[in-house]
Amino acid sequence: MAQQLPYSSPLSYYSTSKGRHISLTSRNGLLLLVALLVILGVFLPWARSPLFLFPNRTSSSSLPTNWRNYSLAEAAKFVAKDGTVIVCTVSYPFLPFLNNWLISVSRQKHQDKVLVIAEDYATLYKVNNKWPGHAVLVPPALSSQTAHKFGSKGFFNFTSRRPQHLLQLLELGYNVMYNDVDMVWLQDPFQYLQGSHDAYFTDDRTRIKPLDHSHCLPPPDRNGVTYICSCMIFLRPNNGAKLLMKKWIDELHAGSKAYEGNDQPAFNWALNKTAHQLDLYLLPQAAFPTGGLYFKNKTWVEETKGKHVIVHNNYIIGYNNKMKRFHDFGLWLVDDHAFESPLGKLE
């Protein structure tokens, strides 16, 4: 016959090692209860913090004490995984969008590769305080007070440095993915980056393509231009990708007046002028739709359901308008899922 254990009431704890009851209403029981509550009170908030959920792979002793001295080369070495870095450029007003994007990246298990290129010191310190080592500032710093509107001079100053950052990372030998932070990942995009092409990119036009469309650079329109998006790019560290970045920089400098407010036309001219020297790859429209298609064509979205990988919240101007649209489509993740981001909840 099995040995019968002594009866234990809901308000008592039975210790098999001591063979006696400890009542939770007794002095020892109350002390035990208080100790458990203290341990839970200390541990649980820490366990939900970003540093617990997303621990650093390198000890803090290897990081600088002054983030102003942290170089792009040091930052890339710290975050790179399998020779790849995922880059975004962010100014302080867009930290909520950064956090929203990071939640979606974390859901695909690629957050460790992310490097935030801060455009102001407020962003540099905020990100590195929450997530040490994952932000760097390449001088000069811009003003942290304004959320620059698309087409403004401030927006151009913000985006026109992008090819310089990307070129430097390529020169350091890394594969580089660039994303704007008004994007949300729904699936893992790396499954579409197979092969050894120099550059991968998306078409920003809203005209619907067949699912088996060509992956070549689209032909120019009647005005002789293409409309490739400069907000989602993947580059391999070879001569072709470096040539494309150098040509983009040249185009920006040569046409600074014409391009003021938008660096994308310069990117398209660079693509068209170097296409014969590069191995280019146009990503599938169904997987990487422009905002003018995804948010405005319900029929197409339903027909391509399950194929969407990265959604871009473009074809809309204004910080609040972008945020509202994400809310309306269930893609504003920050309010309910902040702890899925390495930055946690931003105050």
pLDDT, tens digit, 9 for 90 and up, residues 143-196: 655 544 544 454 445 557 999 999 999 999 999 999 999 999 999 999 999 899
Lowest-confidence region among 1-10, 139-148, 160-169, 292-301? 1-10
At 36 the pLDDT is 60
The kind and range of the H/E element at 265 are helix 264-274
Per residue, the 3-state secondary structure of 1-49, as one string, reads CCCCCCCCCCCEEEECCCCEEEECCCHHHHHHHHHHHHHHHHHHHHHCC
Task: For residues 124 and 68, give the distance between their C-alpha atoms in angstroms, rounded to a whole number.
Answer: 8
The structural domains of the chain, with segments of one domain joined by +, span 72-337
Task: For residues 256 and 131, give the distance between their C-alpha atoms in angstroms, rounded to a whole number.
Answer: 36
Q: Can you tell me the mean pLDDT for 271-276?
A: 96
- Which residue bears the tokens 């590769």? 113
At 134 the pLDDT is 98
- Does residue 117 carry a pLDDT above 90? yes
Q: How confident is the prediction for the chain on average, in pLDDT?
A: 85
Cis status, amide bond into 140, omega within 30 of 0: yes
pLDDT, tens digit, 9 for 90 and up, residues 248-264: 999 998 875 555 557 89
Provide the 3-class DSSP secondary structure of residue 266. Answer: helix
- Which residue bears the tokens 């269930």? 330
Q: Which of 135, 127, 9 is nearest to 74 (CA)?
A: 135
Contacts of 43 (CB under 8 A, 6+ apart): none
Cα 228 from chain centroid (whole Å): 20
- Does residue 109 carry a pLDDT above 50? yes
Percent of the residues in the chain that have a pLDDT greater than 70, as a whole number: 75
| Superfamily of segment(s) 72-337 | Spore Coat Polysaccharide Biosynthesis Protein SpsA; Chain A (3.90.550.10)
